[in-house]
Structure 1
Amino acid sequence: MSFLRAFAFFALTALLVTVVLVLKPGARETGSGPLAAETMSEAELVERGAYLALAGNCASCHTAAGGEYMAGGLAFETPFGTIYSTNITPDEATGIGAWSDWDLLNSMRHGMRANGDHLYPVFPYTAFTQVSNDDAAALYAYLQSIPAVARENTVNEVSFPFNQRPLMAIWKLLFFTPGAYEVDEGKSDEWNRGAYLVEALAHCSACHTPRNILGAEKASAHMAGGEYFDRVMPDVYKPWSAPNLTASSRGLGAWTTEDLSAYLQTARNDFLESFGPMNEVILHSTRHLTAEDVNAMAVYLKSLPGVEPSPVSEPDTVVMGRGRTIYNLHCGTCHLPTGEGDPEMAPRLNRGSLVVQAENPASMINAILYSPEAPRADLPEKWREPMEEFQYILDDEELAAVATFIRHSWDNRAGPVTPEQVARQRWE
């Protein structure tokens, strides 16, 4: 569906929904007393909230580069325009200092501001809706305890009609079901804890699930891989592809629970080292969680049924031959002719590389063009030499050929990469 057809669909839906439905206040919850259970002290709430903020990776989105902690201003590029994260420090004029704990719950559970405005789902309330009342209260206590920062929120740059917040009532009617997480009695406590962390607090599906033309996650392809915009160079944003996290043979099927736990805790395992936007998830969130919580997340993710990518066409033999030549010239020394990699030189490209096997090659192209960004400075270097960037060495056809060769050689069976896909990722 094209953008114009999506616009027409959205406009038609708006006409079909009554004015009362569109303009009436959204669902809100209220209470006569504190949101948290009475058994929790303020100090306990703050401590618990600090941990939950790490699990939700709040700082990565609400702290701009060079900005003050949780003061907002980070830009999110979307198909509908640029949306900026908000100030969630306890400043009463520009932050959430005037909010109650119930106001914070309603933002997370129902996607509503304290003044009744609808929030855009760039703030992932579609996942946060599952956060429990006690955890919302703990998050509130923690956010009220951090230093207040007086910083006006940056005005969003969203195109018409998507800049009309009342229309979000229609979007919610179509795509959003609010409600706290419900325990699956047929599963273990560990599985339920992992499900709660992955689906609610960590909101993994926000990146790892494909979206429809109106920006809603496709339930039929839950965790099967998504696309989003993020930084490839300073002030340059391009698409990234989040890989398939289901039990697909081209997803987590080749990883063990231990592989996944190691990756979330250390940014490394026997398959690869983290790079790109996933660095922030690990460095600012999962590596700070307890080993029990990380393992629970791994147990839950490994239980997801496989969602297989679309069938792929066989690459052109000439392209494969050209790609093999380029690979042997530029890649084979470190990654080895077999694609198995070397413990000191480079990660494996065969078997278990979710980025190589992804249906969408955007992240793989970014890694080749701009070089994978190391996860953090305080880790000892994993590879003897960092991978060089090839944006000035290979043209679009050459890079497409070598990416196609890697994605369809050895045990890999991902689809061809086109020069047009490469051109889309270049910053020039």
Structure 2
Amino acid sequence: MRFRRTLTLLLLVVPVVGLVLLVLPSARDSGSGALADGTLNTSELVKRGEYLALAGNCASCHTTSDGQYMAGGLPFETPFGTIYSTNITPDVDTGIGNWSDWDFLNSMRHGIRANGEHLYPVFPYTAFTKVSNDDAAALYAYLQSIPAVDRTNTENDLSFPYNIRPLMAVWKQLFFSPGAFETSDDQSEAWNRGAYLVEALAHCSACHTPRNLLGAEKDNAHMAGGEYWDKVAPNVHKPWSAPNLTSSSRGLGAWSKGDLHAYLKTARNDFLESFGPMNEVILHSTRHLSDRDVESMAVYLKSLPAIESSPVTEPDSVVLGRGRTIYNLHCGTCHLPTGNGDPEMAPKLNRGSLVVQAENPASMINVILYGPEAPQANLPPRWREPMEEFQYILDDDEIAAVATFIRHSWENNSNTVSGDQVARQRWE
């Protein structure tokens, strides 16, 4: 059946690939002359580009834990196979040393390499397309200024037919609208700056928006929470859920702009401390941004209209009772019987914890199984004792029961967690 569907897809798609390639726009069609406006000298342009690279969190994706800066090689697990980040140092043979500024803009604006090949949207050009010409020029100048690294790019490991790059032309025609960010005259300067950072450079929707079967973001659920694969242990990747960032009651509705600002600058606020993949976003990106830019991001995020999650079904009373017993035995001492946490012992689990309330419980399950990975940023420890891992203490049904109890107790109101969902997150 899978072969039949694949064959049908190819029969429909391949005949139009050539036509799409002919009509696909190029960055060179968008204007003429130099990219930058010419008001900055080279050193200023490089400095600005370095800041923009921090805003885009480029290093987290293009630098492995044991590799050289921006030399690529980081694996991204997707439903279609594994894609590896590329070398974006100015090495002539293996990096982007032979790229012109127009080639770089073409990759950002249209998802096309210097050799004309289509890029896969794991490189988030669906967001980077909104980056201005001037900012693209600054990013290019910065990347051309860093040390060149001779590291041949790792070949992707994608299943058929997703390993056929020309098919991306069809995907783009269906799901991609290129174009630079346009400000809104009806909004404040802070809102427009925040929208530019969140939607373009920081590409938050890449993780926080659900995707369809072909990997495109769902426009009708923008920022309503998504799923992606990341590590839970060295060389082990499992699903993580990115929470709802709209003003939903199970999203950012309970957070103030001050809560958001504190979290993005310090990895902490009154609700929680960062953990897991979000650590890299904060430690490598948002904490380095100016207070004004972080405030603008908070302004924009708090303006997003609420997209509510699906209706909640009542958990089985037996499951809730079992979960309460496990909670009181293993969790209540630190998180308190009220779920409100303790400033010295543990974060609150009651209303305001986006991970607890998320429709997809993957991240919450990961924390219970493996313990939260605290941010390593030379910060004093937030909690007296780190949370232990329960993967060897509780079985799948027990973890499902306590997660269900937490998600449906006090002021929380989220769906039941099943043993199968827990089993999906285990790696041993």
CA contact (8 A) 2:64 2:74 kept: yes
1:417 Cα deviation from its structure 2 partner: 0.1
Hey, what's the Cα distance between the residues in 2 that align with 1:3 and 1:384?
52
Aligned residue for 1:82? 82
CA contact (8 A) 1:324 1:402 kept: yes
Instruction: Write the letter of the residue equivalent to 1:29.
Output: A
1:136 Cα deviation from its structure 2 partner: 0.1
5+ residue gaps, structure 1, are: none
Residues 347-366 of structure 1 aligned to structure 2 (within 5 Å): 347-366=347-366
- Asked if 1:36 corresponds to 2:33, the answer is no
Aligned residue for 1:282? 282
Q: Deviations over 1:88-116 (max 9, x none)?
A: 00001100000001111000000000011
Residues 133-152 of structure 1 aligned to structure 2 (within 5 Å): 133-152=133-152
Hey, what's the Cα distance between the residues in 2 that align with 1:9 and 1:251?
40
Instruction: Write the letter of the residue equivalent to 1:223.
Output: M
Instruction: Write the letter of the residue equivalent to 2:189.
Output: D
Hey, what's the Cα distance between the residues in 1 that align with 2:108 and 2:332?
48
Q: Deviations over 1:304-323 (max 9, x none)?
A: 00000001110000000000
1:153 Cα deviation from its structure 2 partner: 0.3
Aligned residue for 2:171? 171
Hey, what's the Cα distance between the residues in 1 that align with 2:5 and 2:332?
45
1:8 Cα deviation from its structure 2 partner: 6.1
- Asked if 1:382 corresponds to 2:408, the answer is no
DSSP 3-state at the match of 1:169: helix
Hey, what's the Cα distance between the residues in 2 that align with 1:29 and 1:225?
31
Aligned residue for 2:48? 48
1:10 Cα deviation from its structure 2 partner: 3.8
Aligned residue for 1:115? 115
CA contact (8 A) 1:22 1:167 kept: no
Residues 14-25 of structure 1 aligned to structure 2 (within 5 Å): 14-15=13-14, 18-24=16-22
What TM-score do the two structures reach when normalised by structure 2? 0.97
Q: Where in structure 1 do 4 or more consecutive aligned residues deviate above 6 Å?
A: 2-6
CA contact (8 A) 1:26 1:116 kept: no
Instruction: Write the letter of the residue equivalent to 2:19.
Output: L
Instruction: Write the letter of the residue equivalent to 1:28.
Output: S
Hey, what's the Cα distance between the residues in 2 that align with 1:289 and 1:324?
42
Q: Deviations over 1:152-202 (max 9, x none)?
A: 000000111111010001000000000000000000000000000000000
Q: Deviations over 1:229-277 (max 9, x none)?
A: 0000111100000000000000000000000000000000000000000
Aligned residue for 2:57? 57
After superposition, the Cα gap between the structure-2 partners of 1:95 and 1:371, relative to the gap in structure 1 and judged at 3 Å, is same
1:5 Cα deviation from its structure 2 partner: 8.6
Hey, what's the Cα distance between the residues in 1 that align with 2:17 and 2:227?
34
CA contact (8 A) 1:56 1:203 kept: yes
1:391 Cα deviation from its structure 2 partner: 0.1
Percent of pairs identical after alignment? 76
Aligned residue for 1:95? 95
What TM-score do the two structures reach when normalised by structure 1? 0.97
After superposition, the Cα gap between the structure-2 partners of 1:321 and 1:156, relative to the gap in structure 1 and judged at 3 Å, is same
1:68 Cα deviation from its structure 2 partner: 0.1
1:23 Cα deviation from its structure 2 partner: 4.5
Residues 299-378 of structure 1 aligned to structure 2 (within 5 Å): 299-378=299-378
After superposition, the Cα gap between the structure-2 partners of 1:229 and 1:189, relative to the gap in structure 1 and judged at 3 Å, is same
DSSP 3-state at the match of 2:27: coil
Hey, what's the Cα distance between the residues in 2 that align with 1:132 and 1:226?
26
Hey, what's the Cα distance between the residues in 2 that align with 1:190 and 1:89?
33
Q: Deviations over 1:287-327 (max 9, x none)?
A: 00000000000000000000000011100000000000000
Instruction: Write the letter of the residue equivalent to 2:18.
Output: V
CA contact (8 A) 1:210 1:218 kept: yes
1:28 Cα deviation from its structure 2 partner: 1.2
1:65 Cα deviation from its structure 2 partner: 1.4
Aligned residue for 1:239? 239
CA contact (8 A) 1:22 1:166 kept: no
After superposition, the Cα gap between the structure-2 partners of 1:107 and 1:334, relative to the gap in structure 1 and judged at 3 Å, is same
Hey, what's the Cα distance between the residues in 1 that align with 2:140 and 2:4?
41
DSSP 3-state at the match of 1:227: strand
Hey, what's the Cα distance between the residues in 2 that align with 1:113 and 1:148?
19
Hey, what's the Cα distance between the residues in 2 that align with 1:392 and 1:91?
46
1:38 Cα deviation from its structure 2 partner: 1.4
Hey, what's the Cα distance between the residues in 2 that align with 1:408 and 1:27?
50
1:6 Cα deviation from its structure 2 partner: 6.9
Q: Deviations over 1:57-87 (max 9, x none)?
A: 0000000110000000000000000000000
1:12 Cα deviation from its structure 2 partner: 5.0
Aligned residue for 1:294? 294
Q: Deviations over 1:369-420 (max 9, x none)?
A: 0000011151100000000000000000000000000000000000000000
Hey, what's the Cα distance between the residues in 2 that align with 1:106 and 1:5?
36
CA contact (8 A) 2:17 2:166 kept: no
Hey, what's the Cα distance between the residues in 2 that align with 1:245 and 1:362?
16
**How many residues matched?**
426
Hey, what's the Cα distance between the residues in 2 that align with 1:133 and 1:298?
25
Residues 102-251 of structure 1 aligned to structure 2 (within 5 Å): 102-251=102-251
1:34 Cα deviation from its structure 2 partner: 2.3
Q: Give the superposed CA RMSD.
A: 1.4
DSSP 3-state at the match of 2:230: strand
CA contact (8 A) 2:72 2:85 kept: yes
After superposition, the Cα gap between the structure-2 partners of 1:217 and 1:336, relative to the gap in structure 1 and judged at 3 Å, is same
DSSP 3-state at the match of 1:51: helix
CA contact (8 A) 2:17 2:167 kept: no
Instruction: Write the letter of the residue equivalent to 2:415.
Output: G
Aligned residue for 2:10? 11
CA contact (8 A) 2:283 2:377 kept: no
Hey, what's the Cα distance between the residues in 2 that align with 1:257 and 1:148?
40
Hey, what's the Cα distance between the residues in 1 that align with 2:12 and 2:78?
22
DSSP 3-state at the match of 1:228: strand
CA contact (8 A) 1:243 1:358 kept: yes
CA contact (8 A) 2:20 2:173 kept: no
Hey, what's the Cα distance between the residues in 2 that align with 1:370 and 1:309?
26
Hey, what's the Cα distance between the residues in 1 that align with 2:359 and 2:127?
24
